[in-house]
Amino acid sequence: MRDQDQRQSVLLDVLRRNQVHSQVELLNLLSVEGVEVTQATLSRDLRSIGVIKGPEGYTAPESAGLDKGVQKKLRTLLKSHLVGMQAADSLLVLRTASGYAGAIAAELDSLGLASVLGTVAGRDTVFIATSMPGHVRRLQAELAKISGRADLRP
């Protein structure tokens, strides 16, 4: 694994385990993990892997560092069989082609996304429960990104 890949992997892990509000705090946490990095490199890494900063601090994107095989299978399913998505409080409702909801829910479950509490699938609908209402829009954007379909963006 390249140094940059390893550093970014540790960075994602640190962000998933800690609520971080500043780059100084993040630099200190990385140092504890044995990763010495300059603030400029840290800024480039954050931008490169799609980390966003909001009122709750820095948030890693859901799909970064996730199993690429599962992502590829999910991308294929979403691209071909997802009809639409709609946010409803802390739920994201996916409409699928008939018979594909279960397969899409199974792939979502296998990804182990941090903000997803669970999925329920019917024949053509998947309900995705998230831990907070604010996570729904981020999850919707992430699924649109994974699918490669701009028409699904919130």
Task: Look up residue 143 and give its two tokens.
Answer: 């699924």
Instruction: Give this prediction's pTM.
Output: 0.59
Per-residue confidence of the chain (154 residues) as pLDDT tens digits?
467 777 887 888 788 788 899 999 999 999 998 889 999 999 998 887 778 888 888 887 765 555 667 778 888 999 999 999 999 999 999 999 999 999 999 988 887 776 788 999 999 999 999 877 778 888 888 888 888 888 887 7
> Could you give the domains of the chain?
3-59 (1.10.10.10), 68-152 (3.30.1360.40)
